Every structure is written in structure tokens, then in C-alpha cells.
Amino acid sequence: MMDLPGGWRSGPGLRDVEDIRGAAYNPKIARRALSYVAPYKKLAILALLLTFLGAGLNMLGPYLVKIAIDSYITKGDFQGLTVIVAATLVVYVAYFWATSRQTLIISDVGQKILRTMRSQMFEHLQRMPLRYYDEHATGAIVSRLINDVSVMNDLLTNGLLVLFGDAFTLVGTIVIMLVMSPRLALTTFAVLPVMVVAILIFTHRAKTAFRITREKIGAVAAGFQETIDGMKVVQAFVREQTSQSEFNQINEENRVANIHSNTLSSGLMPVVEFDNALATIAVIAYGGTLVLSGQVTVGILVAFLAYITRFFGPIRTLSQFYNQLQSATAGAEKVFDLLDQPVTLVEAENPLSLASVRGDVEFRDVSFSYGREPVLRDVSFHAAPGQMVAMVGHTGAGKTTVASLLSRFYDPVEGAVLLDGHDLRELSFETLRGNIALVLQDNFLFAGSIRENIRYGKPTATDEEVEKAARAANAEEFILRQPLGYDTPVMERAANLSLGQRQLIAIARAALADPRVLILDEATSNIDSRTELLVQKALQKLLAGRTSLVIAHRLSTIRSADLVLVLDKGQIVERGRHEELLSRGGFYYQLHQQQFAEPAALPEAEPISA
């Protein structure tokens, strides 16, 4: 990780693609990006043809003006002038029709591509293991899904059409100018060396500017997301000003990066405009002498002045296309890096689906590590169907990791976790996740109503089944006190519900799912005594007849457990029933004494100083 100014730290989520300086265009990335256009190639080709048609009609306009001047105006042919004016009007009406149709078609294609890319990314993110979210900032992931996809899509649609259309216009204009008057054409082209030098300088300096802008906007999104999620802590510690200063710092870095890239791109435009002006003056001066000497007509001179604009217009746009290519390449690298992240938790090639699950759970010599240091070492235990296994230990002992492995959020590094004698890696996700439910210490509720959050455990459940589950979880009493009962909206982060109420809804959700194996991760922690009693009664009903793995913070809640596992530093150091472990006077006994000892018996604590 690297420190950002202001104290923020940028993890892999802020910069998860190496900055390969100088790589403005990557053929492999380009081919992969273009594959998103393939399903809509007929519409894309139609849009391209309309682009060429529009460009051709636009180039035809000045030539019709030349004909009008030389063949009709100078000769006083009013009837012929009327015809050519009408023809010119038809040409420009056709031009505007072609460009408007092209815009509508490419907008439709662009939105379809955007939908496909974001849907693909969202699907991939849902399949990613939790380890990915442990290592990447949420804001940076959102930035990939929103910002980088958008800039990449802009290139695939409007950017490429502009490229082909302007290239066609540029080549066509050069050909027409050379045919009309080679001398005036060469006069126009004489200013190009100045512009070529400017473009070379610009491209050299802009090679990394647009990658930096993609990184900075990801950092801004990540910092914003983190501060919003932690707003309660920010306000509790009166850190608003510090947080504002830190955000201002990274926001300023984003501004500087964008100003730098915009300065590079805008710095090229005055050079193009200056060359345009020089070419116009040169053509007027030299063309005027040719008209006076009778070597070219007035119509040719007027048409040439119009074609100068059509000559430098594509050059101006194509120079901006390089900016878009830089930015889109940087965005595409970020998008494809996310899509290329391996999905390490996958179903077996022919997964096993069980018609019924008894709930027999076994950990067999399981070891696990989130990084280099092992979190679990040779953990083995067995829970027969209907048994309750409790886990206790100090923070960091590995209890939650055991629960995560049983849910198969992670796979063991060594050993195996079995359900009804089958390795979890052999089972289908439907069998596994359909028979294991979790009730956590701080359960997540989604935007929607209370009813919808309970129904999340079984999407096909009827209203009667939802309400039955709520009654079983002792949640109906507080639900009916809400303004709209079961249809009361749940605010973001469930701000309108207490922690205990969220726990009861989570228990109702688990009850509705009717799992064979239930995981309780300190489900009664941090709630008041009255709510704890409601939660415990609800859990007793929920646990009946089910295999359960209970991570206990309060040892009083596990006295009836069939097996208590005491973990320390990732290993099981003791196992047995509550009374048996107390009688041994070992690690569990010490935990029990620390939790229930009288205050007078506790050693005098040292004051905590800043």
C-alpha cells in the first residue's frame, strides 16, 4: 500500500493495474474491447455507412458553391442558379438526416454495449470470492463499474465513428483540393510541418497523463465511499474537519491530474487553429493573384476557403481522438483487470446435488491462511445432525474463519470441510447455500421493506409464510408497531431499526430459509438485555432439530452446547461440554473466570493514556 497525501492510504483497489508508461494503445486490449461491438455489427455498419454518407455530402457542399459561382452567378444564369441552389439544399437536408440517424443508431448501440459490460462486470463481481473484497476498496470497484466502463464505451461508439468519418473527410478533402487546384492545395499543406511537430510533442507528453486521471478518480471514489460508510465514527470523534481536509487533498490531486491532461489536449488546439488561419491567409493571398491573372476562377477560390475548414476540422478532431484513446485504454485496462480476476471459488465440473441434507458437519485437518500467516492449523471436529457446537476464544483466534469455511466463502488451504460426508467443494452451490444459513453479529439488510428483507431467505415465500417466520423469530411485535408494519421501508444501513430489531429480522430470514445447518456468529452481542432475551428465545426455536455452529461471546449462552471448542491462535486447545471444561481448570476455565469474576477480584487496571 502507498500513503496518499492527507493520510489516506491507497490499497490495491485504488491502483490495481500497473502504470505501464508509454502504452497508449494495446492491440490485445483493442481487439477485446471491439468484441463488445460484434453482437451489434449490423447496426454498427449501418451507422458507419451513414457516417460516410454524411461526410461525403458535407464535402459536396463547397463544390456545389463553386459550380454556382463559376457556371451561373458570373454568367447571370438565374434559372441555372435556382437549380443548383435547390440541389445544394437537398444535399444539406440529406446530410442532416444521415447524421441524425447515425447519432440515434450509435446511441442505441452504445447503451446496449454499456448495459452488457456493466452486467458482465456485476455478474463477475457476484462470483468473486470474499477475499477480493477484503483486498479492494469498494469505491474503486464502483469507479470501474461506472467511470471506466463509460469512457471505454464512448470510444467504442462515438469515438470510432468520428475516427472513420473524419479520416474519410480528410482524405476526400485532400483529393478534391488536389483535383481543383494543385497549387492552392500545396499552399494549404505548407503549414502542416508546424502542426506535425506540435502533435509529436503532445503525444510524447500525454502518454501517462490519462492513466493518472483514471487512478485519481478511483481514489476519489474510494475515499468518498469509505467516509460515507464510516460517517458515524467521523462524527463521533469530531473528525469532520480532518476528513474534509484529507478528501480535499485527494480531490485536489484529481483536479491537478485532470487539469494537466486537459492542458495537454487543449494546448494542441491553438496550434491547429493558428495553422488554419495561416493556410486561409496564404490561400487568399496566393489564390487572389491566381484569380487576377485568370489562372483559377473565383468559384475555386471560394470553394478552397470552405475546404480549408473541412481539412483542419478532422485534424482537430483526430488530435482529440488521441486523448480519448489514451483515456479509454487506461479505463479498459482497469475494466479487463477486474474481469480477469480469477474466480477461485467455483462449483465442481459435475457438482453433486443432494435431495435431502441431514446436517452432518465435519472439519478434517483444516488449515487456512488469508495471506502468509496461518489463521487455522489442523482444525478437526465433528457435529452430528441436530448437535450444537460452540466456539469460544479470544479475538483473532479463528472462530469467524471456521464459520466462513463452513459457508464456503473460502476454501481450506489444507484438509477438507464435509457436509453429510461430502467435501463442500464437491457440492453444488444450490445444495450448499440452500442448507446453510447465517445470523451474524451485525446483519445486513437491503433497501426495501421489512417483508422483502425477510423474504430474502426464500424468494418464493407467501406473505403468510413471511409472517409465520417473523412470529417464530419474536419479531412480529416490533414490526407491527412500525408505521407500515411489514411494508415499512428499511432505510440505508437500516438506520431506522435498532441493532436488536435487525437481529430479529435476520433470524426471521434464516427461519424462512429453513436450513439444516445454522451458523450464529455472536448473534446476541451488543444488544440490550430485553432484546437479548427475545433473540435467545427465537434462537432456541430456530436451533431445534438443526445442526448449529455457534460463535459465542457470552459463555452463558453455550451451557447447553453438545460440544464446546476452545480456539487459541488458530488451533483447538480444548474441547468438551461446558461443565467438563470448567472442571479441568484450563483455558476455558480462565475465560469463564475473566468474564464472570467479581470486580473486586480483578487486578487493578492501569489508566489508558493518550
For the segment 148-184, what is each residue's pLDDT rounded down to a tens digit?
888 888 888 878 888 888 889 989 999 999 998 999 9
14: amino acid identity, one letter: L
Supply 402's cell numbers.
471456521
> What pLDDT sits at residue 422?
95
Rounded to 10 degrees, what is the CA torsion of 591, 594, 597, 601?
A: 140
Helix (H, G, I), strand (E, B) or coil at 293: coil
Predicted local distance difference test score (pLDDT) of residue 556 = 66
- 18 pLDDT more than 60: no
CA distances from 29 to 13, 122, 124, 321 (A): 21, 20, 19, 17
Higher-scoring residue by pLDDT: 391, 605 = 391
Q: What is the mean pLDDT of residues 566-574?
A: 92
User: How many Cα atoms sit within 13 Å of 379 on the Cβ side?
Assistant: 32
Query: Cα–Cα distance between 559 and 152 in angstroms, integer?
Result: 59
At 74 the pLDDT is 86
Q: For residues 291 and 299, give the distance between their C-alpha atoms in angstroms, rounded to a whole number.
A: 10
User: What's the CA angle centered on 124, arms 121 and 129, to 5 degrees?
Assistant: 135
What's the pLDDT at 316? 77
Distances (CA, A) of 334 to 144, 149, 158, 164, 291: 7, 9, 21, 26, 57
Cell numbers standing for residue 607 = 489508566
Per-residue confidence band for 513, with pLDDT thresholds at 50, 70 and 90: confident
pLDDT for res 21: 42
Tens-place pLDDT, residues 71-90: 889 888 899 889 999 999 99
Q: How confident is the model at residue 230 (pLDDT cuts 50, 70, 90)?
A: confident
Residue 609 pLDDT exceeds 60: no
Beta-strand runs (E) in 355-457: 361-369, 374-383, 388-392, 414-419, 422-423, 436-439, 448-449
Look up the CATH architecture of domain 24-339.
Answer: Up-down Bundle (1.20)
Cβ partners under 8 Å of residue 47, min gap 6: 102, 105, 106, 109, 161
In this structure, what C-alpha cell is assigned to residue 339?
474481469
Closest CA to 159 of 10, 48, 61, 245: 48
Q: Which amino acid is at 440?
A: L
Look at residue 438 in the predicted model and tell me its pLDDT.
85
User: Is a pLDDT exceeding 90 seen at residue 543?
Assistant: no
| Of residues 313, 410, 420, 304, the one with CA closest to residue 359 | 420
pLDDT at 50: 93
Distance of CA 198 to the CA centre of its chain: 37
Q: Going by C-beta distance under 8 Å and a sequence separation of 6 or more, which residues neighbour residue 530?
A: none
Query: In the chain, how many H helices and how many E strands?
Result: 22, 14
Does 493 score more than 90 pLDDT? Answer: no
Average pLDDT, the chain: 82
Mean pLDDT of 269-273: 77
pLDDT at 4 over 90: no
d(CA 331, CA 152): 6
CB 412 within 8 A of CB 584: no
Radius of gyration of the chain (CA): 35
pLDDT at 17: 38
Q: Which residues contact 84 (CB under 8 A, 6 or more apart)?
A: 64, 67, 68, 71, 72
Locate the domains of the chain by residue range.
24-339, 361-601
Kindly state the helix (H) or strand (E) to which residue 465 belongs, with its residue range: helix 463-472
**Greatest CA span in the chain, whole angstroms?**
120
User: DSSP string spanning 80-142?
Assistant: HHHHHHHHHHHHHHHHHHHHHHHHHHHHHHHHHHHHHHHHHHHHHHHHS-HHHHHHS-HHHHH
pLDDT in tens, 329-356: 878 888 888 888 888 788 888 999 998 9
Confidence of residue 360 (pLDDT cuts 50, 70, 90): very high
Q: How far apart are CA 61 and CA 44, in angstroms?
A: 26
Q: Which pLDDT does position 127 carry in this prediction?
A: 85
Please tell me the pTM assigned to this model: 0.70
Q: Once rounded to an integer, what is the mean pLDDT over residues 56-82?
A: 90
3-state secondary structure string across 303-333? HHHHHHHHHHHHHHHHHHHHHHHHHHHHHHH
Q: Which residue is associated with the grid cell 417473523? A: 470
Mean pLDDT of 560-578: 92
CATH of domain 361-601: 3.40.50.300
Sorting pLDDT into bands at 50, 70 and 90, what band is 264?
Answer: low
pLDDT for residue 602: 40
